[in-house]
Amino acid sequence: MQKISFSLLISILGVGVLIAFLCSLSMGNSSISIIQAVKDLMSHNSSLHQTVVWEIRLPRVLLAVLVGATLGLAGATMQGFLRNPLAEPGILGVSSGAALGAVIVLYFGFAAVAWYWLPVAAIAGAFIALLLVYLLAGFRSSVLSLILAGVAINAIAGALISVALNFAPSYFALQEIVFWLMGSLANRNMHHVYIAAPFIGLGWVLLLSRFRFLNALSLGEETATSLGFNPVRERNFILIGLALCVGSAVAVSGSIGFVGLVVPHLLRPLVGHQPGRLLVASALGGALLVLGADILVRLLDVARELKLGVVTSLLGGPFFLMLILKTRSRWI
């Protein structure tokens, strides 16, 4: 796969996201006109078109863009930071911590009290997981120590989630937890967008602003230090940014896998293997992938809507099987 112009790649991905955005906004069980919805909104005329587009479809589409871009950006950042193409956003326990926070709220029934309990608990769980990783590994520890601490937090959080599933107070609570862990954007509203978008936006700023450091880090930590970067400070910015955006994304969508792994792998050759450029490309690619997967979910004519996380796993699994076979063929 040959490298193409970076501006051309970004333009293609941007246009793809825009087309997928409009397609997702216009499709549904009811025949609704987006143009009529815009006219009704501008004229302050309450109508079925306006209600369906702005209160039902738009939140879902916006969250698809936010979550997809976050997972793609986080995956590219983790792979550049750890200099490992198999790294993914949940490797430091942030995703599992967010999932545990949400599961606790679902287990005790707090989510039925007020809509904001679930996203707030997931964001808090992400930050607690990051803090525990720091406490276990040390604030000035090596990358290897951070990874080992993240593996430990992932294992503990996964075990506690299993305990919650095992002792669920009712079948309905168990079903709610399982469905949330599968990942979905159904039945979301603008409140979810309002609570997640500020944290996601701040996380994006912290991650995208580290592109020069990631470019330098690709030449080695000593080279990055000689170029004037402070690896410990830069690492802290990256980890805080990951906790902010990934925790917020998991808070409103549940667990959606493989996006942070697949998208950077596909786009890395197109940007000349430059970690800094891969950040923006992966953000757009992640948004496009999640939008496309969500459109596929809504197109499938099944009695119960297939969960978004299941679709991304079905797409990502064969991709990595192909990657393994390709890597194996090189060694034979």
Closest-CA residue to 239 (of 210, 219, 281, 268): 210
DSSP 12-43: HHHHHHHHHHHHHHH-SSS---HHHHHHHHHT
Which whole number is the average pLDDT over 108-128? 82
Q: How does pLDDT run across 250-298, given as a tens digit for each residue?
A: 888 988 888 998 899 899 999 988 999 999 999 999 999 999 999 988 8
* Position 330 confidence tier, pLDDT thresholds 50, 70, 90: low
pLDDT at residue 332 tops 60: no
* Position 155 confidence tier, pLDDT thresholds 50, 70, 90: very high
Question: In terms of pLDDT, which residue wins out, 90 or 235?
Answer: 235
Mean pLDDT score of the chain, rounded to an integer?
85
Question: In terms of pLDDT, which residue wins out, 169 or 238?
Answer: 238
Q: What is the CATH number of domain 6-319?
A: 1.10.3470.10
pLDDT of residue 298: 85
Q: How does pLDDT run across 61-105, given as a tens digit for each residue?
A: 999 999 999 999 999 998 898 887 877 877 888 888 988 998 998
* Position 46 confidence tier, pLDDT thresholds 50, 70, 90: confident
Distances (CA, A) of 299 to 27, 65, 226, 256, 302: 9, 18, 53, 19, 9
Contacts of residue 121, Cβ cutoff 8 Å, sequence gap at least 6 = 101, 102, 104, 105, 110, 251
pLDDT of residue 138: 76
* Position 139 confidence tier, pLDDT thresholds 50, 70, 90: low
Calculate what percentage of the chain has a pLDDT beyond 90: 33
- 111 exposure class (CB count in 10 Å sphere: 0-12, 13-18, 19+): buried
Range in 80-84, 289-293, 305-309, 327-331 with the lowest mean pLDDT? 327-331
pLDDT of residue 91: 81
pLDDT of residue 179: 83
pLDDT of residue 205: 96
* Position 2 confidence tier, pLDDT thresholds 50, 70, 90: low
pLDDT at residue 324 tops 80: no
